[in-house]
Amino acid sequence: MSENNKKTVIPLEKPLKGTIKVPADKSIAHRAAMLASLAKQKVLIKNFSSGADCKSTLSVLEKLGVNIEFLSENELIIHNKEGFKEPKETLYAGNSGTTIRLMSGILAGSDFTSIITGDESLQKRPMGRVINPLKQMGADITAQDNNTKAPITIRGTSLKGIIYNSQIASAQVKSCILLAGLNAEGVTVVREPFKSRDHTERMLSYLEADIEVEDTKVKVKKSNPEAKPLSIPGDISSAAFFIVAASIIPGSEIIITDTGLNPTRTGIIDVMRQMGADITVLNQRTECNEEVGDIKVKYSELKGITIGREMIPRIIDELPVIAVAATQAKGTTIVKEAEELRHKESDRIKAICLELKKLGADIEEAVDGFVIYGKTKLRGNCELETYHDHRIAMSGYVAGLASLRPVRINEFQWVNISFPEFTQMFESLYQ
Ligand code: S3P
């Protein structure tokens, strides 16, 4: 991701119109590949993600001896016939927090030593949050900076179940412990303060592993997932950019089909509706234990709201683009209790505030969020940075569409982390 691919975004003078289908959910795709590798038979995965992050998961699994066969661009078969083998080289998770944290849970109970690391941004992100509970389970792990940062060295050993009360609502932490728990003696219980995305739990129960869920408490026992075909819905976090764009560009009306509607992820719909957005969900159904449906969005006048606490895990990846919506909403939008945003692919609180200010937004940074006073006509005519963060890049693009003058985005290639088809898909909605 080193070349500087500058993108010029021209303000849209016409509405967005049409129907699109966004690519596969990144979170579910990571889990599908990992859980398929825990089954001994072949597993077919339909509609896999084309993003670089999920490719990082596949490459880590391949280095562990898993056979991956692509039947077409987004359809693949995973076969870990002989079980994981000691890797000959360092496992590279690229930019992907989900890859390094969930794989650490799997590797902790293996019978070999592995080292897992990632790019510059991933090496700065907190890993103590998974290393500490894994150590409590008996894992033999060492890492940089006093066991808090990647590279992480994992000497596989036998694990024992624990009861873990997580201080943060993080699906990566929860899933890491649950995956380790599948290979641990006794019972493993994870409790979190608020419910974070529950794709791991849903997929484990779909694949008939030994798991019980009771509100914010999840319990697993030693078991192996069954080899059943998996199909991945569209990523609501990718749909979020279109939901916001259609809500703020006058006259727009779009439909996003086959999108994941898991309630732990639909905060974007709830928040936008609370702001006054016109969103209808159609065709709702369940596939592989995940809710799926079509989302219809029409332009509408927005108003500012206050967002905090329980809502935060349900919109953790959508807050940058919600901030763009807030600049176009009448009144004040307050985002609080969202300090987790500082630990993402970039410090998203800082990035949102700096970049939206350049565009002319009236925004104030807080320790745990930000306050936006709307509605402001964004000036544009400036250069935005992405901070090596795909969601900051895509949020900048949406802000550019709603600006008065063109906007230049530096290092726009970071969109490829989750959504290589992003620009093309937007252009398909231009009249
Ligand atoms: C993810 C969980 C969230 C989210 C990330 C993907 C996952 O991270 O921000 O993009 O796939 O489990 P945290 O668990 O750190 O909140």
pLDDT in tens, 117-131: 999 999 999 999 999
Beta carbon of 172 within 6 Å of any ligand 1 atom: yes
CA-CA distance, 29 to 45, in Å (whole number)?
9
Q: How confident is the model at residue 1 (pLDDT cuts 50, 70, 90)?
A: low
SS3 label, residue 174: helix
Q: Which of 228, 261, 288 is a domain's end point?
A: 228
Domain count across the chain: 2
User: Does 384 lie in the same domain as 374?
Assistant: yes
Determine the angle formed by the axes of helices 171-181 and 97-108, rounding to 10 degrees: 20
Q: Residue 128: give the domain boundaries.
A: 26-228
Query: In a mutational test of the pocket of ligand 1, which residue from 27, 235, 414 has the highest number of ligand atoms less than 8 Å from its CB?
Result: 27
**113 Cα: distance to centroid of ligand 1 (angstroms):** 26
> How high is the pLDDT of residue 204?
98
- What is the average pLDDT value for the chain, to the nearest integer? 97
DSSP string covering 116-168: EE--TTGGGS--HHHHHHHHHTT-EEEEHHHHTEEEEEEE---EE--EEE-SS
Q: Is the pLDDT of residue 373 over 90?
A: yes
Determine the angle formed by the axes of helices 97-108 and 52-63, rounding to 10 degrees: 20
Beta carbon of 325 within 6 Å of any ligand 1 atom: no
390: domain CATH number is 3.65.10.10
Q: Which of 317, 347, 362, 368 is catalytic?
A: 317
Q: How confident is the model at residue 280 (pLDDT cuts 50, 70, 90)?
A: very high
Q: Which of 195, 228, 261 is a domain's end point?
A: 228
User: Does 199 lie in the same domain as 84?
Assistant: yes
Q: Is the pLDDT of residue 169 over 70?
A: yes
- Write out pLDDT tens, residues 55-85: 999 999 999 999 999 999 999 999 999 999 9
CA-CA distance, 197 to 413, in Å (whole number)?
27
> How high is the pLDDT of residue 431?
72
User: Does 150 lie in the same domain as 256?
Assistant: no
> How high is the pLDDT of residue 40?
85
Residue 294 falls in the annotated catalytic set:
no
Q: Is the pLDDT of residue 3 over 80?
A: no
User: Does 337 lie in the same domain as 276?
Assistant: yes
List Cβ neighbours of 13 (8 Å cut-off, separation of 6 or more). Answer: none
User: Does 115 lie in the same domain as 75?
Assistant: yes
Q: How confident is the model at residue 294 (pLDDT cuts 50, 70, 90)?
A: very high
Beta carbon of 316 within 6 Å of any ligand 1 atom: yes
**360 Cα: distance to centroid of ligand 1 (angstroms):** 30
Q: Are strands 75-79 and 43-46 parallel, antiparallel or unpaired?
A: antiparallel
Residue nearest to atom 13 of ligand 1 (CA): 170
User: Does 379 lie in the same domain as 281?
Assistant: yes
User: Does 216 lie in the same domain as 258?
Assistant: no
**341 Cα: distance to centroid of ligand 1 (angstroms):** 11
**354 Cα: distance to centroid of ligand 1 (angstroms):** 23
SS3 label, residue 108: helix
**98 Cα: distance to centroid of ligand 1 (angstroms):** 6
- Cβ neighbours, 10 Å, residue 227: 19
User: Does 320 lie in the same domain as 215?
Assistant: no
Beta carbon of 317 within 6 Å of any ligand 1 atom: yes
Q: Is the pLDDT of residue 149 over 80?
A: yes
List Cβ neighbours of 47 (8 Å cut-off, separation of 6 or more). Answer: 24, 74, 75, 231, 232, 233
Q: How confident is the model at residue 426 (pLDDT cuts 50, 70, 90)?
A: very high
Least confident of 2-16, 163-177, 186-200, 291-305: 2-16
Q: Is the pLDDT of residue 151 over 90?
A: yes
User: Does 257 lie in the same domain as 211?
Assistant: no
User: Does 347 lie in the same domain as 210?
Assistant: no
Which DSSP category does 425 fall into? H
Beta carbon of 95 within 6 Å of any ligand 1 atom: no
* CA of 316, closest atom in ligand 1: 9
Q: Is the pLDDT of residue 266 over 90?
A: yes
> How high is the pLDDT of residue 2?
54
CB 245 within 8 A of CB 378: no
**Phi then psi dihedrals of residue 370, to 5 deg:** -160, 165
Closest residue by Cα to residue 189 from 167, 158, 211, 159: 211
User: Does 200 lie in the same domain as 54?
Assistant: yes
**Phi then psi dihedrals of residue 315, to 5 deg:** -135, 20
Residue nearest to atom 16 of ligand 1 (CA): 170
Beta carbon of 96 within 6 Å of any ligand 1 atom: no
Q: Which of 228, 250, 268 is a domain's end point?
A: 228
**171 Cα: distance to centroid of ligand 1 (angstroms):** 6
Q: How confident is the model at residue 278 (pLDDT cuts 50, 70, 90)?
A: very high
Closest residue by Cα to residue 261 from 234, 294, 291, 296: 291
Beta carbon of 114 within 6 Å of any ligand 1 atom: no
**355 Cα: distance to centroid of ligand 1 (angstroms):** 23
User: Does 391 lie in the same domain as 251?
Assistant: yes
**130 Cα: distance to centroid of ligand 1 (angstroms):** 13
* CA of 175, closest atom in ligand 1: 12
Helices (H), 258-318: 267-274, 311-314
